[in-house]
């Protein structure tokens, strides 16, 4: 089999590059994936029992303010009008998340104005006397104080990552916004937000539709590496530590397990995602995908729900843990990756980075500009 480029992984990073290389450079691409489907963790499928489309690997909401990304993606998808709103269950009460004025007033049983709430939280966080936060817990305490942290963040974070929040970097807390108004829109500052009307899988089918692109599924790169010899280069989007056979040790990864259940009610929880902040729930959240497509009229007497359970250091990596040991090992892997000829690394797993979809697409487009200079 002759081809110009080999791409390992059919998620957004690999699929965008396959589309660009085949269309702009007029080169042939073989894209392989060890799974039985394209799309990586964004793969969507239809539940035959309920006729409800769901995201196999957890709810994915497309959101961006990057016009270049949106201009690129527009021919491949049309977003619906879904706006992501998350709720959190704590001690049998339901609160809005991210933390906003409603969350604060409900937890403290107050009726604060925005200014009063901001001052109240400032005084609570000031009591912690943390001027230079060294880790996730200290960063959280220095911003929201101990009661909010203990209620919504501490145990949920421990369940998510499987390690004491004191051992997570302070920067991890930057992903958790705090608002002093009643805005419950999770992605507050995005110009574009929604779910692709026809699901995610169709996007990848379009990205990989060129006759110059061949897709090979159920194909493990490491088992078949000697079979594939591209004319120009390999683009690898898998875990960077695995590529180098864990030469500097395994990086810390968080993985997920999903339990699919059919509930005999058309609406189980009234929202797409419900977080469970307390330790007595083994799952971190429950997804109910019927709420992701308000434009669809689904007459089902049952609803599909998906319980999400964290797994740590599993062979199916989802999110980098970014602990101290992993950070040190990553530096060595990054340095080593620069010594490999005709192999380009990218994407969430190869970069060991917590990318949103738009960030992954943007990174792929930037990488293509480099490839264009090299192989035009």
160-195: b or e for each residue (b if 16 or more CB lie within 10 Å)? bbebebeebbbebbeebebbbeeebebbeebebbbb
285 is catalytic: yes
226 is catalytic: no
Looking at the fold, whether 193 and 218 belong to one and the same domain comes out as: no
Alpha-helix runs per DSSP H in 162-220: 200-207
Task: State the pTM of this model.
Answer: 0.92
| Residue from 13, 285, 333, 348 carrying the catalytic annotation | 285
| Residue from 138, 308, 351, 358 carrying the catalytic annotation | 308
Three-state secondary-structure class, residue 40:
helix
175 is catalytic: yes
338 Cβ neighbours under 8 A, 6+ residues apart: none
| Residue from 202, 323, 356, 375 carrying the catalytic annotation | 356
Residue in 254, 236, 99 with CA at minimum distance from that of residue 179? 99
**Structural domain that includes position 367:** 1-38+208-247+321-376
Looking at the fold, whether 105 and 170 belong to one and the same domain comes out as: yes
Three-state secondary-structure class, residue 4:
coil
Tell me the sheet residues that pair with 250.
Answer: none
141 in any annotated domain: yes
Q: Using CA of residue 5, residue 11, residue 17, residue 21, what is the dihedral sign? A: positive
Looking at the fold, whether 160 and 261 belong to one and the same domain comes out as: no
182 Cβ neighbours under 8 A, 6+ residues apart: 100, 101, 102
Measured CA to CA, the distance from residue 64 to residue 77 in angstroms comes to 14
For 295, other C-beta atoms within 10 Å of its C-beta total 11
Looking at the fold, whether 125 and 212 belong to one and the same domain comes out as: no
Looking at the fold, whether 137 and 239 belong to one and the same domain comes out as: no
* Boundary-marking domain end, from 295, 312, 329: 312
CATH of residue 7's domain is 3.40.50.720
Is the separation of the CB atoms in 31 and 208 below 8 Å?
A: yes
Is the separation of the CB atoms in 190 and 63 below 8 Å?
A: yes
| Residue from 128, 138, 149, 179 carrying the catalytic annotation | 179
270 in any annotated domain: yes
Question: How many domains is the chain built from?
Answer: 3
Looking at the fold, whether 155 and 170 belong to one and the same domain comes out as: yes
Is the separation of the CB atoms in 86 and 275 below 8 Å?
A: yes
Q: Both ends of the chain: CA-CA distance in Å?
A: 22
296 is catalytic: no
Looking at the fold, whether 170 and 73 belong to one and the same domain comes out as: no
Looking at the fold, whether 160 and 109 belong to one and the same domain comes out as: yes
95 in any annotated domain: no
370 in any annotated domain: yes
**pLDDT per residue rounded down to tens, the chain (376 residues):** 789 999 999 999 999 999 999 999 999 999 999 999 999 999 999 999 999 999 999 999 999 999 999 999 999 999 999 999 999 999 999 999 989 999 999 999 999 999 999 999 999 999 999 989 999 999 999 999 999 999 999 999 999 888 889 988 888 787 677 899 999 998 888 999 999 999 999 999 999 999 999 999 999 999 988 899 999 999 999 999 999 999 999 998 889 999 999 999 999 999 999 999 999 999 999 999 999 999 998 888 999 999 999 987 667 888 888 777 888 999 999 999 999 999 999 999 999 998 999 999 999 999 999 999 999 8
20 is catalytic: no
367 in any annotated domain: yes
* Boundary-marking domain end, from 287, 312, 337: 312
Looking at the fold, whether 304 and 348 belong to one and the same domain comes out as: no
Query: What is the 8-class DSSP label of residue 149?
Result: I
254 is catalytic: yes
31 in any annotated domain: yes
Looking at the fold, whether 212 and 351 belong to one and the same domain comes out as: yes
74 in any annotated domain: yes
Q: Residue 192 is encoded by which pair of tokens?
A: 């574009």
Measured CA to CA, the distance from residue 33 to residue 284 in angstroms comes to 28
348 is catalytic: no
Looking at the fold, whether 120 and 76 belong to one and the same domain comes out as: no
Looking at the fold, whether 234 and 212 belong to one and the same domain comes out as: yes
E strand or H helix at 256: strand 253-263
91 in any annotated domain: no
284 phi, psi to nearest 5 deg: -90, -30
Q: Omega before 98 cis (within 30°)?
A: yes
| C-alpha triplet 324, 329, 333: angle, nearest 5° | 145
């Amino acid at each position: 089999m002759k081809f110009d480029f080999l791409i390992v992984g059919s998620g957004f990073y690999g699929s965008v590059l396959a589309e660009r290389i085949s269309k702009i450079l007029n080169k042939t691409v073989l894209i392989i994936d060890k799974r039985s489907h394209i799309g990586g963790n964004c793969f969507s499928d239809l539940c035959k029992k309920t006729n409800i489309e769901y995201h196999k690997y957890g709810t994915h909401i497309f959101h961006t303010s990057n016009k270049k990304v949106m201009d690129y993606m527009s021919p491949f998808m049309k977003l619906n009008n879904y706006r992501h709103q998350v709720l959190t269950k704590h001690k049998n009460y339901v609160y809005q998340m991210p933390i906003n004025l409603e969350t604060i007033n409900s937890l403290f049983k107050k009726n604060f104005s925005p200014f009063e709430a901001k001052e109240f939280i400032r005084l609570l966080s000031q009591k912690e006397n943390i001027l230079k936060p060294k880790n996730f817990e200290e960063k959280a305490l220095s911003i929201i104080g101990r009661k909010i942290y203990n209620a919504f963040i501490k145990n949920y974070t421990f369940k998510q990552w499987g390690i004491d929040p004191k051992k997570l970097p302070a920067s991890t807390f930057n992903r958790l916004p705090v608002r002093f108004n009643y805005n419950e829109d999770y992605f507050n500052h995005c110009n574009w937000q929604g779910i692709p009307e026809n699901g995610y899988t169709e996007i990848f089918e379009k990205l990989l539709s060129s006759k110059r692109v061949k897709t090979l599924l159920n194909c493990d790169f490491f088992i078949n590496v000697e079979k594939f010899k591209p004319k120009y280069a390999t683009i690898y989007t898998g875990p960077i530590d695995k590529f180098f056979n864990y030469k500097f040790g395994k990086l810390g990864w968080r993985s997920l397990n999903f339990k699919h259940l059919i509930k005999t009610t058309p609406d189980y929880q009234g929202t797409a995602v419900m977080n469970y902040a307390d330790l007595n729930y083994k799952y971190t959240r429950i997804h109910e995908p019927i709420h992701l497509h308000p434009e669809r009229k689904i007459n089902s007497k049952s609803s599909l729900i998906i319980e999400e359970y964290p797994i740590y250091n599993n062979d199916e990596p989802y999110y980098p843990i970014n602990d101290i040991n992993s950070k040190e090992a990553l530096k060595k892997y990054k340095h080593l990756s620069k010594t490999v000829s005709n192999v380009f690394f990218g994407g969430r797993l190869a970069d060991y980075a917590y990318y949103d979809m738009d960030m992954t697409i943007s990174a792929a487009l930037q990488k293509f500009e480099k490839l264009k200079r090299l192989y035009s």
